[in-house]
Amino acid sequence: MPHDGEFAEYRSIRRLTENERVQGLLRRAKQRDISQDELALSVLKLSDITTKSWEPELVLAIDGSHQPVQVEKGFPGSEIGYVTVSAVLMDIAKIRELDTQRPVDPKAFRETENATSVDRAFPGCNIVIDDEQSPVASLRKALFETFQETRLFSDAETLLDTYQALLKYKKSEAVRQKCPFKDNCLSPQGNYKFGEFTYKCECVKQGTLYSTDALRIHEGMVSDSANGAMFAEIMQTIERVSIIHILRWFEQNNLLYLLKDVGLVIDGPLALFGNPAGLLIPVKEELRRINEKAKEYTDGADILLVGVEKTGFFVNHFERIDQNKNGTFGMFLPQTFALISDEYIKKNIVFSDSKKKYGDDTYFGRKLFYKTKSGARVVASLPMLDISHEDASRAEPDQYPRLADALTLFDQLASSRFPNAISPLISAHAEAAIPLNLGSRVLEDMAKRLIKERNR
């Protein structure tokens, strides 16, 4: 890496291009023929699966943002991570009504959206809070407090209550993690035993444990470097637990019948990556429980939950195969879609010869490609609400709950402003986004001021 202000010369480029070992490796690399993709992917029409007209009444979109910020605190590299997750409720029925009365009153249009946000700061490298003994302990405490103090509706349970309900699906004997006090824990094995809320380690030191320790996010803290990846895990965990939190609110308020006309949309795939992936089975099981109960009040209609990806391998692949031979876009006609099998993914998108299906340890949704009525491309995933949905050897419409309704949702809400985006997520992102430059300066100044006030 260059020093600050130093620019590399071209000698290294010349050495690389002329190096025989570099050239040899590149010659050995396999290249795929795009025509093979065309033969492997079956493209269907929306009209093939539409049995009745449906329009969403409400859409609730969830998106998050995170920003690590270094602060001057006497230790080098001291870092705080700011995380915000926003949920935006959009009245689609009202928007359709306003659309018939153009020009639309801007005030009336703004009133079709309501937003709520979770905004928190988390300790990173060299940040110690209260009477804690380390940055890791400080992070564990701050994460627990965030779940304990957060609710997305004023009459809802806390996010911690939702998390505790998920934790009940985990079996104690299946937990294979070390006690957070592994370097000082005096129990024979030093294994972590999860419990409810706050409790004590079983060893004589009686260290404080939190139920959120089971997320293992603290294990990702790097003691002498930036922790952007850890803050990203916190953000995605809050987003995914918020889905369950919202669905449980519908259940607790006897509003499950409304889910027939409500769409839930989250930024990114329906998956949990990294250390929190251990929450995958609990999320999947609770989704299925709520879905089965909801179907009693929705004439058998499943929950409409959608993950939408803006970037990544699947987005790039869809863009690449949606091209004619002359390079123009158009291989997918408007209102056509493709469902993706495990074989297709491993052969064409993420090369693998593993017997385990792609995303087996991380995904609770199945991916699909859709070209909307307006010509926008959408890479989405729908939840696996039944065991049959998990059979990745095939990709059939019956494995994608509310498939026709999801595609109809994309037709109505696809954005003309940004690629691979739908309007509710744009609104949620606007609520959650932290500007990289201005935002980091403002947050750094705030951190400096508050830390100084505390230490006076």
pTM: 0.87
Q: What are the residues whose beta carbons fall under 8 Å from the beta carbon of 48, sequence distance 6 or more? A: none
pLDDT at 276: 94
Token pair in block for residue 275? 């250390």
Residue with tokens 């700011």: 82
Q: Note whether residue 313 is domain-resident.
A: yes
- Over the stretch 181-231, which tens digit does the pLDDT of each residue have? 766 655 666 667 777 888 887 765 667 889 999 999 999 988 888 889 999
Q: Residue 280: give the domain boundaries.
A: 43-124+225-454
pLDDT at 255: 93
Q: Half-sphere exposure of residue 309, counting CA atoms within 13 Å on the CB side? A: 22
Q: What are the residues whose beta carbons fall under 8 Å from the beta carbon of 74, sequence distance 6 or more? A: none
Buried b (16+ CB within 10 A) or exposed e, 258-268: ebbbbbbbbbb
Q: Note whether residue 253 is domain-resident.
A: yes
Angle of helix 159-167 versus helix 135-149 axis, rounded to 10: 100
Phi, psi for 78 (deg, rounded to 5): -60, 135
Among the listed residues 378, 399, 377, the one whose alpha carbon sits nearest the alpha carbon of residue 388: 399
Q: Note whether residue 101 is domain-resident.
A: yes
Domain count, the chain: 1
What is the distance between the alpha carbons of residues 341 and 396, in angstroms, rounded to a whole number?
9
- Over the stretch 272-296, which tens digit does the pLDDT of each residue have? 999 999 999 999 999 999 999 999 9
Q: Note whether residue 338 is domain-resident.
A: yes
Q: Note whether residue 212 is domain-resident.
A: no
Phi, psi for 345 (deg, rounded to 5): -60, -50
Q: Note whether residue 409 is domain-resident.
A: yes
Strand order in the sheet with 336-339: 43-45, 336-339, 365-371, 377-383, 304-309, 262-267, 58-70, 79-91, 113-123
Q: Note whether residue 199 is domain-resident.
A: no
What is the chain's pLDDT, residue by residue, as a tens digit (456 residues)?
Answer: 444 555 556 666 676 667 788 778 777 777 666 555 554 688 899 988 876 788 888 899 999 999 888 877 657 778 888 899 988 888 888 877 776 766 666 666 677 778 888 888 899 988 888 888 888 989 999 999 999 999 988 889 999 999 999 999 987 555 667 777 766 655 666 667 777 888 887 765 667 889 999 999 999 988 888 889 999 999 999 999 999 999 999 999 999 999 999 999 999 999 999 999 999 999 999 999 999 999 999 999 999 999 999 999 999 999 988 887 666 777 789 999 999 999 999 988 898 888 899 999 999 999 999 999 988 999 999 999 999 999 999 999 999 999 999 999 999 888 766 766 778 788 887 877 765 444 455 555 555 555 555 555
Q: Note whether residue 170 is domain-resident.
A: no
Question: Which sign, positive or negative, has the C-alpha torsion 431, 433, 435, 439?
Answer: positive
